[in-house]
Amino acid sequence: MDIERLFYAITITVGILFSVLTLQRLLSGWWRRYYLLIIILVLGLVMLVPAFVSWASLGNWKLVSAQRLYWALVLMNEAVIVLLILQLILRVAEDIPKRTAVVRVCVVVSALVAVISTVIHFDQRPNTFMTSLTRDLTFLAAVLNMMLWRFLVQVRKKDFLLLAVSAGLGIQCTGDAIGHSFRILSRQVGSADLLQELGNILMSLSAVITLAIWHTAFARSKYPGSSTVGTRNDGGKIPASSSHPAA
């Protein structure tokens, strides 16, 4: 096994482990507030299917069905990421005047970016088109995430989990945007294979780092009210211990 295949085998294995462990923690109660994150994690696991097909076939993307499945899942994943960031902005900005107007502007801008990007890149080859569109959507998500951080600073909201989720999204979106840019650039210069591999490696590393951050954050937190209330021998209730998220 060469170094490249070993690297992807390790990152995929670690990614699956962190995804499953994070899903386990989310299902303990946090899914009520982060159900969109569950969808992102599930889509990330399903995206491994076409990726494994490509890996097993040594990168042979003549398998049209696997290719279409991959890009459909990628677009769904990017759309849910944007929705999650908009949801978090709405949650953080609840104490800010005209918060509804701010979120509406973000939604309109997001829709315009998606439409404009589709129109601009639609005449390109399928792979180039989808790579360009995905890059633009990840860049959009990164900008929205910066707005989320601005609101967090403005309202001085101390929410450990929200900060961790936002930090992970920032790393993922930045890594994906740069990675997709390398993929596009690889088709325009002579060192195509090198740039494409750099993009793939960067995206793989950012995904693993993001999952590690999310797993660590949810592992340190306990959903409020998830503790069961015990009963003493005399019939009285034993008060449940504090279950606020760890800082």
Residue 201 and residue 7 in contact, taking contact as beta carbons nearer than 8 Å: yes
Reported as a single tens digit per residue, the pLDDT across 118-135 is 999 887 677 788 888 998
Q: Tens of pLDDT along 5-22? A: 788 889 989 999 999 999
The whole-angstrom separation of Cα 165 and Cα 147 is: 14
Mean of the per-residue pLDDT values of the chain? 82
Determine, yes or no, domain membership for 230. no
**Nearest Cα to Cα of residue 169 among 129, 140, 128, 192:** 140
Q: How far apart are CA 131 and CA 196, in angstroms?
A: 12
At 205 the pLDDT is 94
Largest CA distance in the chain: 80
Angle among Cα 190, 12, 9 to the nearest 5 degrees reads 70
The total number of structural domains in the chain stands at 1
pLDDT digits (tens, 9 = 90+) for 225-238: 655 444 344 444 43
User: Does residue 80 lie within any of the structural domains?
Assistant: yes
Q: Is residue 235 part of a domain?
A: no
**Given this model, what pLDDT does residue 228 score?**
41
> Is residue 150 a part of any domain in this protein?
yes
Q: Would the pLDDT of 114 be above 70?
A: yes
Which comes out higher in pLDDT, residue 125 or 242?
A: 125
Host H or E run for residue 241: none
Would you state the pLDDT for residue 39?
96
pLDDT of res. 157: 67
CATH number at residue 133: 1.20.1070
Q: Which domain holds residue 205?
A: 3-221
